[in-house]
Amino acid sequence: MRLAALVTVALMFAGAAYAAIEPAAFRDSGDWRLSEVGGKVACTLTLTRQTSFAGFELKAPLACRRAFPPLKAVAAWMLDGRGGIVLADANAQPIVTFPVQAKGPYEAKAPDGRTWRLEPVKADHPGSDPDAAPIVTAPPGF
């Protein structure tokens, strides 16, 4: 009986923690530009909303994984307790953590010693929000 109550309480707290992080993860999902500070190479990563064992799925083109070798081990992304973006392997072990910045893009030291910059890809035109509901208007005279 005590075990059942303990499991219920544990699941309740786990659900509350997941619910608290979920909206922030949705806010941070989408396309992000990864570049090396002072370098000339950049590529686009997609932080998806699709859950995986290690967090949320991360999509990186093969060329991006070649340009940034530590990305070869990255399988997922998640948020740390302070809202930083963590790129992790398939076992949820952090590869690189981008701490929250007061202003500007995220920056972090990669495992290879280089400094990486991560910033959201801006929409092609102002006011476009891929997560916003489409605006539907009725035809004239309707």
Average pLDDT on 48-60 reads 91
Provide the CATH number for the domain around residue 25.
2.40.128.10
Give the pLDDT mean for 100-107: 88
Query: What is the number of domains present in the chain?
Result: 1
Residue 135 is assigned to a structural domain of this protein: no
What per-residue confidence (pLDDT) applies to 63? 94
Give me the pLDDT at residue 26, please: 59
Question: Quick one: what percent of the chain has pLDDT higher than 70?
Answer: 67
Tell if the pTM clears 0.75, that is, is over it.
no
Domain containing 100: what range?
Answer: 2-120
Instruction: For residue 24, tell me if it sits in a domain.
Output: yes
**Within-domain flag for 109:** yes
| pLDDT reading at 128 higher than 60 | no
Rounded distance, CA 99 to CA 37, Å? 16
The token duo for 1 is 């009986």
